[in-house]
Structure 1
């Protein structure tokens, strides 16, 4: 079985770890001398550095929540509008999570049953309190992203590999036909 067919079969199989699939694609990228493909695979395997743009499938919105109290009541899981957080942080991108971690660290089976992944934003507590009504004291502040979107990163990578392999196979067939 050739490398291209092996990669295609692995891309179709949910049992092959995506990191294993990508290592095979890295070999293929080297064999066909594709720096663009090699760079993408290396970023997926090792993570995206801060100076590299993250692909759209790795970018997701954050829903903010807080727990706190006033003199009259206590609040748990209180939604905080993205606009409030962006204004407090003076940063419009604070409400967007760019998943830069290596693909091998995204473990769909370990994301839990809650349906969300929690991001700690306690360092923003003083800023958010200033933006809210007086008398509100916050105990914790966090962001949530959909676990399905995080799992979707793994699926998007697998699908991109399959699309690439099929296009490469199709291109090879077209070249073979034109030489006949």
Structure 2
């Protein structure tokens, strides 16, 4: 079986021009590292969400919720609804955040400037998760925040910055 040539109308040609334009600049190592850090950030978010889900269903959390219900004069029958709401909130937030990090990683790898801007905004938003963090269960959240911030910082260094500009320029040709 012989290898098909890369003809102008072939799928290989379309795919490469779809990614970064007809003449993509070389992919810097720091951008590759940023992409791996974004994958690690998504992994840490998943781990933090598993820990949060376990906590949301724990006896300690149930006791805390019962005390809140008693203090507010609400019936204890609302406890299961509050636990379920907590779990659903954690799971939905996990799916959205992990999905966002993976999409951002994909497009940062392709040199899309909007992806690094969105990634920087997401990294800033995740700083909120550090409020009230308890250790040792908070280490995955701390790692997620550090990995995300470091990945975005790498994207704004001079080498990667030039890469993003070159990709943009090659797409405008």
- TM-score w.r.t. structure 2 length? 0.30
Would you tell me which structure has more strand in proportion to its own residues? 1
Structure that is richer in helix per residue: 2
Q: Which has the higher contact order (CA 8 A, sep 6+)?
A: 2
